[in-house]
Amino acid sequence: MGYPFSSPNGDEEDLNEQFAGYLYYSLQISPDLLNRIHSHQQLFFSDEARLVAHQNSPLPRYTDTGINREIDWVVDDGDKLVGYESKYSAPLHKDQLQDELNKLRLNADGRDVALVVITMNTTPVSLLNQFTDEPVYWLSWFTVFRRLHQTDEADIPPEQRPILRMLRDLFEAEDMHPFTGFDHHDKLQYRYFIRDLRQELVGTELENPGKVHTSATKDPEPSAWKRIAPKRIDVPFVRESREQEWSRLTSYLTVTVDMETHDVHTGIVFNLREIKTHRDYVNENIDELIEYAAERDMDLWASMNSFNQWKVGIAKTDDPAEMRTWLADGSENAVRADGTDYKKAIFVRGCSASDPAGLVQEVKQELLELHKQFLISDELYRWPTLEEYE
């Protein structure tokens, strides 16, 4: 049996009404579920938290000069009043958010306020950059479901468990699926993995600027971009604070997924053929790079433009001596392996977590570690970082 109630089926008001209704009863038991939803943010609710307003029973007071905005639902937690503005497909508007902040403050009687914006986006909405000095938070509906999906029923009060199940069923009915593990028969899991990883990195200095594309072709030896199912997915991550526009000619980290074995690796990419700063960095720091790779159990991969180059493929080694040979024997702008000059050197580390949520977290932490070591900081190692070369 599926979800026993009428699914919102993309209707914003229906989703808000059902979610707020479940939250109303959940908060009468404890704030556990709401705190899990906000576990990555600086919002925490006490046992006093109660849902006090929603679309059909809004806050009573509004400004004389502003529009009487109907905040989707409001939680009163004693020392603070928190409003929620949910969007399913409709756009956000600056005036609406400002009016809602003003209405919260008018009804808070001097207490702190916060406004949480929930959208279907996978990364923060750019409009919220105009509210950096205001207590405005962003959530994705996908993140809400992921937090609930990851909640172990044994960790919450027994009375909350039926509500947790109903909320999970609600989101399942709306096709808001989290990453549940790679599956050759469910290609959408690759997209869910990237989406969940992108959301886990919100608030860090890393972002994924690209998208995954697949195409079909009848060519018996197709180029990588035309393969309907490439051997590997290469997901780039770059610094948010970079000054230049994203391209493969900038310093970036990578997450690769082997679509046959489902092995996942994270790494730092050095484009020796096309980027002088990368050539200089590698040539001046071969010993240190190999030492770092040995300490962290990393492999060296050598590739052309694409990890899916049809004929040449990728050369791999986990032997420090062979790494040195590959980097030293090639010209200054190439990695020479097995008689082939490759243009890119990629130091990668495998991720081994078996459960889906653990895998996303492991990849996240490894990306942050590589970011710290290679893109922003030289605190722990004696060689300069790529930031000084760019």
- Is there a single domain that holds both residue 145 and residue 193? no
Distances (CA, A) of 1 to 5, 159, 214: 11, 22, 35
Residues 232, 334 within the same domain: yes
382 CB-contact burial (10 Å; exposed 0-12 / middle 13-18 / buried 19+): exposed
* DSSP secondary structure code for residue 375 in this structure: I
User: Residue 208 falls within a domain, yes or no?
Assistant: no
Q: How confident is the model at residue 256 (pLDDT cuts 50, 70, 90)?
A: very high
**Residues 131-141: tens digit of each pLDDT:** 999 999 999 99
- DSSP string over 213-240: -------SS--GGG-SS-SEEEEEEEET
Q: In this predicted model, what pLDDT tens digit does every residue of 10-20 receive, in sequence order?
A: 888 899 999 99
**234 and 364 housed in the same domain:** yes
Residue 214 lies in a domain: no
Question: How much is the pLDDT for 88?
Answer: 85
- Residue 218 within any structural domain of the chain: no
| Residue 3 maps to a domain | no
Burial group, residue 361, by CB count within 10 angstroms (0-12, 13-18, 19+): middle
Torsion of CA 122, 128, 134, 137, to 10 degrees: -10
- pLDDT greater than 70 at residue 33: yes
Same domain, residue pair 144 and 288: no
DSSP annotation of 179: P
pLDDT of amino acid 217: 42
- Closest by CA to 301, choosing from 345, 331, 335, 333, is 345
d(CA 262, CA 233): 10
Element (H, E) at 313: none
The rounded distance, in Å, linking the Cα atoms of 244 and 240 is 10
Same-domain status, 34 and 151: yes
Do residue 265 and residue 237 come from a single domain? yes
Whether residues 194 and 155 share a domain: the answer is: no
Say whether pLDDT at 143 is over 60.
yes
7: Cα separation from own chain's centroid: 27
Looking up residue 300, the CATH number of its domain turns out to be: 3.30.930
pLDDT of residue 213: 41
Closest CA to 367 of 133, 240, 204: 204
Express each pLDDT in 172-207 by its tens digit.
Answer: 888 888 889 999 888 889 888 998 898 888 878 888
- CA atoms within 13 Å, Cβ hemisphere of 61: 10
State yes or no: pLDDT of 301 exceeds 80. yes
Which pLDDT value is given to residue 178? 85
Same domain, 199 and 159: no
- Whether residue 270 contacts residue 281, with contact meaning beta carbons closer than 8 Å, is answered with yes
Quote the tokens at residue 385. Answer: 């970082």
* pLDDT at position 3: 67
In-domain check, residue 277? yes
Cα–Cα separations (whole angstroms), residue 359 to 145, 267, 298? 18, 15, 17
**pTM of the entire predicted model:** 0.78
- Is the pLDDT confidence value at 233 over 70? yes
Where is average pLDDT lowest: 120-134, 210-224, 304-318? 210-224
Question: Is residue 159 located within the same domain as residue 243?
Answer: no
Neighbour-count burial for 318-345, b at 16+ CB within 10 Å, e otherwise = eeeeebeebbeebeebbbbbeeebbbbb
Listed range (40-49, 98-107, 324-333, 357-366) with the worst mean pLDDT: 324-333
Supply the CATH number for residue 78's domain.
3.40.1350
Statement to judge: residues 167 and 246 lie in one domain: no
By CB neighbour count within 10 A (0-12 exposed, 13-18 middle, 19+ buried), where does 305 fall? middle
Q: What are phi and psi of 31, to 5 degrees?
A: -90, 15
Structural domain includes residue 317: yes
The answer, yes or no, to whether residue 330 has pLDDT greater than 70, is no
Query: Is residue 181, in this structure, part of any structural domain at all?
Result: no
Is the pLDDT assigned to residue 296 strictly greater than 70? yes
Whether the CB-CB separation of 316 and 301 falls below 8 Å is answered with yes
Domain that holds residue 121: 12-173
Q: In this structure, which amino acid lies at residue 13?
A: E
| Residue 55 and residue 13 in contact, taking contact as beta carbons nearer than 8 Å | yes
Same domain? For 196 and 149 the reply is no
Question: Is residue 183 domain-resident?
Answer: no
370 or 247: which carries more pLDDT confidence?
370
Rounded distance between C-alpha atoms, residue 1 and residue 332, angstroms = 63
Report CA-CA distances (Å) from 193 to 175, 180, 218, 257, 313: 15, 8, 29, 10, 24
Q: Are residues 24 and 155 in the same domain?
A: yes
Q: How many domains does the chain have?
A: 2
pLDDT at 257 over 60: yes
pLDDT for 333 beyond 50: yes
